A and B are shown apart, each in its own frame.
Chain A
Amino acid sequence: DVVLTQTPSTLSATIGQSVSISCRSSQSLLDSAGNTYLYWYLQRPGQSPQLLIYLVSNLGSGVPNRFSGSGSGTDFTLKISGVEAEDLGVYYCMQATHAPLTFGSGTKLEIK
């Protein structure tokens, strides 16, 4: 199975600070058709996960544009440009290029 390694595991930020989360894959996530099925989800405390970013860099519906995704192959990054209080929670990267679909171990964002 593809292993997704997220760093850091915990992140503490002040309101307005910009932060980045890394997701490194054990295999390339580029498929034979040229698609990269790398996603970012946020799980707020006590809630179900919600989609933030799909196909590496595309914003999910209704997601604020302070969130951005980048990367290729095996290295991917989620950036939050100007953290807001509502951004606290656990961020997961997920790949769907290779079966089975797998998730990273998560990055907990705390607000100072």
Chain B
Amino acid sequence: QVKLLQSGAALVKPGASVKMSCKASGYTFTDYWVSWVKQSHGKSLEWIGEIYPNSGATNFNEKFKGKATLTVDKSTSTAYMELSRLTSEDSAIYYCTPDYPGIRGYFDYWGQGVMVTVSS
């Protein structure tokens, strides 16, 4: 079955960067856009952007341009997101989720989330 295994929690200092992973299994990784979603503590969800593993094409929420970088490793079916110049506003849980082909926004499977804490 479809599984998305995300990397573990991270504690990072302000101004630093963090890179997290999302390893997919149970489906053809290259056929599905992978979205990343942010959830600040106790708050709602924000769509960060998406990447198409087959080509590496990306789309971003303007708010996260310059903040997030999305990449993939097709050989290991793993998607990555790097967040740069971290501030306390970046402390949140980050989820990855593949988008069902042809039905934009159909997020049937989600990773378990990565908690990022930005603190000195």
Give me the interface of A with B, judged by CB distance under 8 Å. 37, 39, 41, 48-51, 54-55, 60-61, 92, 94-96, 99-106
Query: Is the pair A37, B104 in contact by a Cβ cutoff of 8 Å?
Result: yes
**Is B11 an interface position by the 8 A CB rule?**
no
Chain B binding surface, main DSSP class: loop
Query: From A94, which residue of chain B is reached at the shortest CB distance?
Result: B105
Q: Let me know if B47 and A55 touch, CB within 8 A.
A: no
Q: List 10 A-B contacts (CB under 8 A).
A: A39-B105, A41-B107, A49-B110, A51-B108, A54-B105, A54-B106, A102-B47, A103-B44, A103-B45, A105-B44
In the complex, are the beta carbons of A103 and B103 less than 8 A apart?
no
State A110–B29 Cα separation when bound (angstroms).
Answer: 37
- How many residues of chain B get a CB closer than 8 Å to chain A's CBs? 22
Q: Which of A48, A55, A96, A106 is in CB contact (< 8 Å) with B111?
A: A48
When the two chains form their complex, are residues B108 and A60 in contact, meaning their CB atoms are under 8 A apart? yes
Bound CA–CA A37/B102 (angstroms): 11
Contact A55 B108 (CB under 8 A): no
- Restricting to B53-97, which residues have a CB under 8 Å from any CB of A? 59-63, 95
